[in-house]
Structure formats: structure tokens, C-alpha cells
Structure 1
Amino acid sequence: MDSQPLSSHIAPPIPEGAPLFEQENARSVAVRTLLRIASTALDAERLVRDELAAHPAWNDFERALYQELVFGTLRMRAKLDWVLTGFYHGEFPKCMPAVQETLRVALYQILMISKVPPQAAIESASRLLSRIKGEAYAAKLVGVLRAITRNVAGIRYPPREQLALHLAVVYSHPMWLVERWLERYGEEVTEQMLAANLERPPLYLAANRVRTEDRFLPVWLEQHSIPFEISPLAPRLVRTNPFLEISALPIAREGLCYVSDPMYVSVASLIEATSPSRVLYACTTPTLALLPVWELATARSCGIAILTEQGVLPGWVAQTQQQLGWGPLEVLQPESDATFDVVALDAPSSGIGLWRRKPEGKWRLDSWDLHRAARRNRKLFERAIANLAPGGIVAVTVASFEPIETVGLVEWVARAHPELERVRADERIVSPSLIHADGTLQALPHNHRCDSVFVALFRKRL
């Protein structure tokens, strides 16, 4: 065998714009998607939706396989890298990104997908690696994958005596965060949270109340033999198969339903109880949290404006408005002195609470990002409440359960804004299981099957 290190083999580059496979399939497109995620700040969910739309000829298996490879590889990246580094004799971190992602995708199939024969995963990786680096290099890497396949039962992970490292590798989370959670929550709860973050995120659908009633959605799903259950946290929502492609459903194309989450619906319910006349949604960039609030404003015929850091709206907002038939969103200008009786603040955050849906976030975050996120959410809070009318309510949503971003925000408001008083969430309106002793809401990954979001309510004194 050639004694040169694997990283020394060089093959002619693939011509710009050429596909990695002559005929792209789910595996090669998954590798391409992972490369784009690793090299940009693009959102994995959106990239996956775009690729699915670009490959209408794929059958159900190929579409499901593609999604599982992208999100599964992202969720399990640390565990995959541990195995590859061990069998690759330390060379794996030196590989070019396309090689790394190809090996991760192949290994994910070998270790995690029982319905895919290991040989199919290896042959697919071999063809792709041959195009990336040449046949000789590919043969060496295929040898690594075959060696892993023969020794799956003998793979050694860090021993439990090295608890933080063991949990970080086995549950594929950043080491610094595992250490942080162990110190705060202890071993048992930390392990439960890590395991919960590896689960596929549930898919929640809400009936579009502007066009139909809540009861329409479960009836339609039952008539079409689509399994579902009513959310115990927000009964107007149904929870269904996470691989269900919403865009393929007639009721989605007709604007009769939309994707949501129990926490965002709960916020809208709390806002609705105040009988708002004008609502301001403030954010860095719009997220799913906007939708129930926008729907509420349209259904109640009350005005709604949006304040963003960039001052512009992404294209999906206009598409959503057209599809769902909701009212216009006024973009609030920085110098505006308009007042609102409700401010729904979708605060900037680390995004830790979204890692089941957005597992790429695990590998983009470091401990300093928590402090940066906390500073940003306070800055946007200051900007948003400048337009809050006396007696008005501000509902703050933070997609995290890190204290510096959640409890820390509440404590900062108490110090910096004596004109604001805390308001308890009403257990007659939202699920009592979400309400903490101080009246805030917090979903956690191991206790609630939804985004792990924090919510706090404040009222501006008269």
C-alpha cells in the first residue's frame, strides 16, 4: 500500500458548475447541501426545501433519504467525526471539506440507517470520492469505510469516566456546552436534554383561521389517512409526521394551514387576550414566531407593523401573505413615533432552543455567542419598547433556555426599565406545564415536544 499520507493525493479539480455525480441522487445532493451549510450561514431547512423543489422526480424514499442524510449527519456530526478520526489514523480533520462530508454521509448510513445496506452507502461514496479526488484516493477512503463496517461492534467511544467528553461524543454536542449543562443541571438531566436534541423535530400544523376553523384540519387529515395527534400544549395544533412535505398537501397550496409551534401559538393566545388594536412584531429577521401573531392581527382586523434590524423583509413573507390571504405588514421606519398596544418581540438569541429543527446551529456556536446574543436582544428590546403605548404589553420570545438570554433578560428589564412591570402568563390561556413559578414560560427539550422557547410578558405602567 502507498505509504504517503492520504492528504497528499491530489486529483484534477471538478470543472466549475459540474455536478458531483453525472446524474445527481439523494446522496450526492446531501453532500452538496452539507457543504453549503458548512461554508455559509444559510439555513439548512430552507436549503433542503429548495433542493426538494428542484428534484420533483425523486420518489418518496429518495426524498426521505435526502432529508435524513442532511439533518441526521448534522445532528450526529461529532460522533461520526470521532469514529472517522479513529479509523483514519488522525488524518480526517485534514481532509478537504467535500471529502469530509462524503465520509460523514456514508458513515451515517452505515451506523444509523438500518434500511440502507452498508455496501450501497460505500459504493455511492466511492463514486463521489473518485470524482472529487481520483480513484486511487477513493480506494483508500473506501478501505476506511469497509474497516468501520467490519468493526461496528468494536467501536470505542470515550469512557463514561470522562463524562463530559463521553456525552459530547455519544450525543454529538459541543464539549463546552456539555460542560456548562453538567455544572448547571447535573448528569441525569443533561443526558436527557442531549438525547432529546437528537430526536427528529415534530411537525405542527395550524388551521388558517382567516379562511377556515381549527376543527377543519384534524377532520381533513383523518379523511386522507394522515396520522396525527392533537398537541397537548396547544390544542389548536396537530402534530404529524416530520417528513410530511407540506407543500404537496392541497390544503397547504390553498392556504388553509401553515407550519407553527405550540410556543408561538401560546404567545399569540396571550396577546389575543389583551384585545389589541395595533401590534408591532419586532425581530432581527422574521421567523415562525411571526405567523400566529400576523394571523391574529388579520382575523381581528387590527393593524400590524414589523420592525427588523435590516428594515427589509425576506421574500418568503410576501409569498406567505399571498398564499394565506393575510393583511399587509407595514414596515416600521426607524424614525417612526407610532405607538402600539402590543409589542411581540422575537428577540435575537443563540438559537439553542431550535437545535432539533436546526442542528447546524450546534457547530456554529461558541460560548461567547451567548453573551453577544444577550447584548443584541437587549438592544432590540430598547428599540421596540420605544413604540409601546402606556398600558401596553410587550411579549418577549427567546429561542433558548440559557439563563443569560432568558432569566438574565428579565433581571435586566427590572433594573433598566422600572416603567415596565412583569405580567404572569395566564394558565387559563396557555398550558400550565409551560408556566414557571415566576409567571414566565419555558419549554425544555426533554420535557416538551416543541421548540425550547422562553417567553416573558411585561406591561408599561400608565
Structure 2
Amino acid sequence: MEAVTEQKSLNLYQGVRGIAIKLLNRVDRTDAYLDKLLEIEIKNSELCGSEKALLFEIVHGVVRWLGRIDWILNGFFKGQFSKCIPNVKNALRVALYQILFIDKINDIDAINDAVEFVRKLQGQKSAELTGIILRNISRNKESIRYPNPEEDIIAYFSAYYSHPSWLVKRWINRFGKEETEKLLVSNNNKPTMTLCVNTIKTNDEELKSLLQKVDLKYNEGKFSKNFFKLTNLTNITAWEYYAKGFFTIQDESNILPVLLLNPKPNQKILNLCSPSECKTVNIANMMNNEGEIVLLDKFESRMKIQKRNLERLGVSNVRMVIADVDNFTEYDFDSVIIDAPSTGFGTLAKKPDLKWKQDLIDVRKISSIQYRLLEKGANYLKKNGTLVYTVNSFEPEETHEIIERFLTKNKNFKLIDASNLLEKELVDSHGFIQTMPHLHSVDGIFAAKIIKEN
């Protein structure tokens, strides 16, 4: 059977399910991040609002539950499912996600859509196979068997809670079975949307009033009055007050390193690496848009995006420098914040693809990059200047081991206990901020503050 090439059949990837399969094919064969692929597709598609929401749910859902979905398909597929033709493989995944997790979609409709899609792209034989597998699963979905937890808890957690086995084993060794299970459950929760008030433009009371006027339900932030967690996902960027810069969309955990930094008006602060504008605007808010924030990034394209966002938000105390950290020669900053690249394992509810893209080797590789950034950042401080190092992770190689290694090597720096600035429930026994998704209902984030004594 001849497979139709993707180039010739792009026009067949139509509708929510067709587009979902196209995106999943790309996730499988490239290093592209899921959110970026989705963002581009949704922006350029002609789908209506409800269709975009369904596309987001299906693609995120398949990637989130890939471990369980593939476990089931392996059990019903004759042969090696991993070697299945990509179009068929992802058509099966998309249909099975709907069968297992979307009650409002009838099993028959999900199966028929998958069969028809496969028929158009791969022919009748593959379509018949797709129908047989999915109908068999649908009839037996209440009696699907997973690995026996009494015999192999790692295999059970990996299949049932859809996480790579190496990561499950690692967490069980660190946290124990019960805590690991709670963490896995939390990682599989559908993400929520949280708004952060931009105090340069408005205040928490005004934003509350505006949300109530358009009947957007929310829960107030757990650690900051300037955060509002919406109870439903919505196309909030189409709201006029987003364009006016009244708020940013960010997890509440983002404010914690900034509160730890405790920036003041008229200070000079270096933001050494910032993947988005969130922490920058939070710092500007605490500085009353006074003083100077130097934003350093070697990627001009990322700077352009941040520049547009900061202009929308009315942030005027930022100076952007496009340069690599090795070529930056300004010194004597009051404070430095390093939002270092990380595994992102603290953000798996929002970015489920990260758990499938990395392994233990990646953890060790990225920790060397993180340590190098910390060493570089420390050089830019003036005497008695402070530095905050933060990552979206709770892996020891990326968090406390980095700081402890640095302090052992650099005796002129001292750790500042975070419990003096933030709630004690956020601070571990070493004086570091460490949140966990299942304990704090925010992303997992680590932050440490050190001071240069001489």
C-alpha cells in the first residue's frame, strides 16, 4: 500500500481532528514545542472559537495522556504499534483520547471520523484496521488492564498516569509512592488560566470589577492579591483590556522569585535570561516603573516579541540588550535575576510534551548550563548586591545542588533565608523557595537569593 505523502495531502488535514493529527505528526518527528505549533496553527486557521478550544484540548490531551493511550493501543494492535504509519498512529490516538476523556463526543462519531480520515490518506485496508481496533477498545474500555501495581509500581504509574518510567522511578525514590502518585495526578490536571494585574495600568479592585462585568468567574490568588485564576479557559486575549495592557497571563508562581528579589524604585536590575515578559513586568510593577531593568537576550526575535508586549503593558524602564552573556560587560548592578532554562518539570500540566522530550542525560546537561549562568550573573553584582536564581523545576541537579555548589566555591556570597520575605509554607528547610503542583496549586518553581558580601 502506497502512503500519500504529507506534501500532497496537506489539504486533507482539515477540521479539528485532521489538524490535530497533523500537529501530532510534527510533534513526533521534530523537536518543536507543542505550544508553539498550536499557537501558529490557531492563529492562522479559520476555525471558530469552540473549534479552537477543542483542537487545544485534543492535542494537549493526547500528549498529556500519551503513556496511557499508547499502552492501550499496544494491547489491541497486532504487531508493534510504535512502527505504525504516523497518520494511522495519530488518528488512533486522537480517536482514543475522545473515547476515554471527552464524554460529550460519542464513541461512534470519534471512530467514524478516524476511519474516514485514514481512508482518505492511507487507503481502505488501513481504514478497516483503524475501525476494528477502535471499536474493540470502545466495547471493552471498562475492562482495560494495566500493569499490576503490586508487582511493578513503576510500570503501573508510568502506564496509568502517563509519565516516562525513568521519571516515575526517580520520583518514587525521592518522594515515596503516595507523594509521587499525587504529583502525577496533579501533572495530569487540565491547565487553568491565571491573570496578573499590571499595576502600571490598573489595580486589583478595578480588574475584579471588569471581570465581573463580563461575567468571568475567578478565584483570587493564593499568595498575591494581584492574581486571579479563571474557572474556565477562555479566549481572554480577544478582550479589550488585554490589548490595553491591564493584565498578563501567567502562573502565580512567577511572582514568587520577584517577591524574593524585592526590587525597589530607582534600582538598576539585570534580568539575565527571560523567556517571556512576565517576570520583567512584575519587577517593573514593584519598581513603580522607575529605575532601570536591563533585559539581556541573544535572540533578537524573542526581544521583538517582548518589546511589543512591554509596550502594550506600559513598561518604560526596560533597556533591551541583544547579546550573549559572554559578551556583556556592564557591572555594578543592585540586583540580578536569572530565570534559567530548565527541564520545566514543574510545568507539566501546562506543557505536557516536556516529559516526553527529555531524559536523565538532559537533566545533567542543563544543570551545567544553569551553573554557568549563575557564575556569570554573580559577576555583574556590586558589593552587597543580591541575586535570585530561579527555575521551573524541583529536580535537585537544577535547584539546591546548583546553589550549594556555588556557595561552597564562592565564600564571598551568602544565602538569604527566603522565609524572611515569603510565607513559610513556600520555603524548604534550607531557606529556598520550592513549590510543588500537588501541594501549592501552582507550578513547581525553585528560587534562591544570595548576597555578595565583598
For the structure 1 residues 332 and 280, does the alpha-carbon distance in structure 2 shift closer, same or farther, using more than 3 Å as the test?
farther
- The alpha carbon displacement at 1:15 in A equals 4.2
Residue number among 387, 390, 405 corresponding to 2:383 in the alignment: 390
Q: TM-score, normalised by structure 2?
A: 0.93
Is 1:307 aligned with 2:291? no
For the structure 1 residues 174 and 57, does the alpha-carbon distance in structure 2 shift closer, same or farther, using more than 3 Å as the test?
closer
Residue number among 142, 145, 148 corresponding to 1:156 in the alignment: 145
- The alpha carbon displacement at 1:17 in A equals 6.6
**Which runs of structure 2 are paired with 1:244-283 in the superposition (5 Å)?**
244-272=234-262, 277-283=267-273
For the structure 1 residues 295 and 55, does the alpha-carbon distance in structure 2 shift closer, same or farther, using more than 3 Å as the test?
farther
Aligned residues of 1:234 and 1:266 also touching (Cα < 8 A) = no
For the structure 1 residues 270 and 15, does the alpha-carbon distance in structure 2 shift closer, same or farther, using more than 3 Å as the test?
closer
Separation in structure 1 between the aligned mates of residue 272 and residue 188 of structure 2, nearest angstrom: 30
For the structure 1 residues 86 and 291, does the alpha-carbon distance in structure 2 shift closer, same or farther, using more than 3 Å as the test?
farther
Is 1:228 aligned with 2:218? yes
Aligned residues of 1:48 and 1:67 also touching (Cα < 8 A) = yes
Q: TM-score, normalised by structure 1?
A: 0.92
Is 1:67 aligned with 2:56? yes
**Which runs of structure 2 are paired with 1:30-49 in the superposition (5 Å)?**
30-49=20-39
**Which runs of structure 2 are paired with 1:285-296 in the superposition (5 Å)?**
285-286=275-276, 288-296=278-286
Is 1:444 aligned with 2:436? yes
Separation in structure 2 between the aligned mates of residue 175 and residue 109 of structure 1, nearest angstrom: 25
Post-superposition Cα deviations, 1:185-225, rounded to whole Å, max 9, x if no partner, equal 11111111111100012221011111111222222111211
Is 1:174 aligned with 2:164? yes
Opposite residue 183 of structure 2, the aligned amino acid is M
Residue number among 131, 134, 139 corresponding to 2:128 in the alignment: 139
Residue 425 of structure 2: SS of its match in structure 1? helix
Is 1:400 aligned with 2:389? no
- The alpha carbon displacement at 1:368 in A equals 1.0
Residue number among 198, 203, 206 corresponding to 2:196 in the alignment: 206
- The alpha carbon displacement at 1:441 in A equals 0.6
Is 1:351 aligned with 2:344? yes
- The alpha carbon displacement at 1:286 in A equals 4.0
Residue number among 89, 93, 105 corresponding to 1:104 in the alignment: 93
Aligned residues of 1:208 and 1:258 also touching (Cα < 8 A) = yes
Separation in structure 2 between the aligned mates of residue 258 and residue 184 of structure 1, nearest angstrom: 35
Matched positions, count: 449
Separation in structure 2 between the aligned mates of residue 341 and residue 332 of structure 1, nearest angstrom: 21
Separation in structure 2 between the aligned mates of residue 398 and residue 242 of structure 1, nearest angstrom: 27
Equivalent residue, structure 1, for 2:445: 453
Opposite residue 350 of structure 1, the aligned amino acid is T
- Segments of 5+ residues of structure 2 without an aligned counterpart are none
Q: In terms of mean alpha carbon deviation, does 89-98 or 406-415 score higher?
A: 89-98
Separation in structure 1 between the aligned mates of residue 377 and residue 363 of structure 2, nearest angstrom: 21
Separation in structure 1 between the aligned mates of residue 39 and residue 111 of structure 2, nearest angstrom: 26
- The alpha carbon displacement at 1:56 in A equals 4.9
Opposite residue 244 of structure 1, the aligned amino acid is T
Separation in structure 1 between the aligned mates of residue 228 and residue 219 of structure 2, nearest angstrom: 6
Residue 123 of structure 1: SS of its match in structure 2? helix
- The alpha carbon displacement at 1:448 in A equals 1.5
Residue number among 361, 369, 389 corresponding to 1:368 in the alignment: 361
Opposite residue 443 of structure 2, the aligned amino acid is D
RMSD: 2.0
- The alpha carbon displacement at 1:306 in A equals 2.0
Separation in structure 1 between the aligned mates of residue 166 and residue 278 of structure 2, nearest angstrom: 29
For the structure 1 residues 284 and 303, does the alpha-carbon distance in structure 2 shift closer, same or farther, using more than 3 Å as the test?
closer
- Segments of 5+ residues of structure 1 without an aligned counterpart are 1-8
Residue 343 of structure 2: SS of its match in structure 1? coil
Q: In terms of mean alpha carbon deviation, does 432-441 or 443-452 score higher?
A: 432-441
- The alpha carbon displacement at 1:371 in A equals 0.7
Q: In terms of mean alpha carbon deviation, does 79-88 or 216-225 score higher?
A: 216-225
Is 1:124 aligned with 2:113? yes
For the structure 1 residues 314 and 100, does the alpha-carbon distance in structure 2 shift closer, same or farther, using more than 3 Å as the test?
farther
Residue 25 of structure 2: SS of its match in structure 1? helix
Post-superposition Cα deviations, 1:289-342, rounded to whole Å, max 9, x if no partner, equal 444234445x33111112235576344212212321222432164141333111
Separation in structure 2 between the aligned mates of residue 419 and residue 366 of structure 1, nearest angstrom: 35
- The alpha carbon displacement at 1:287 in A equals 6.4
Q: In terms of mean alpha carbon deviation, does 358-367 or 34-43 score higher?
A: 34-43
Separation in structure 2 between the aligned mates of residue 116 and residue 431 of structure 1, nearest angstrom: 44
Separation in structure 1 between the aligned mates of residue 320 and residue 277 of structure 2, nearest angstrom: 16
Separation in structure 2 between the aligned mates of residue 51 and residue 241 of structure 1, nearest angstrom: 25
Post-superposition Cα deviations, 1:12-37, rounded to whole Å, max 9, x if no partner, equal 3354473234xx21111112222222
**Which runs of structure 2 are paired with 1:422-437 in the superposition (5 Å)?**
422-426=415-419, 429-437=421-429
Is 1:190 aligned with 2:180? yes
Residue 116 of structure 1: SS of its match in structure 2? coil
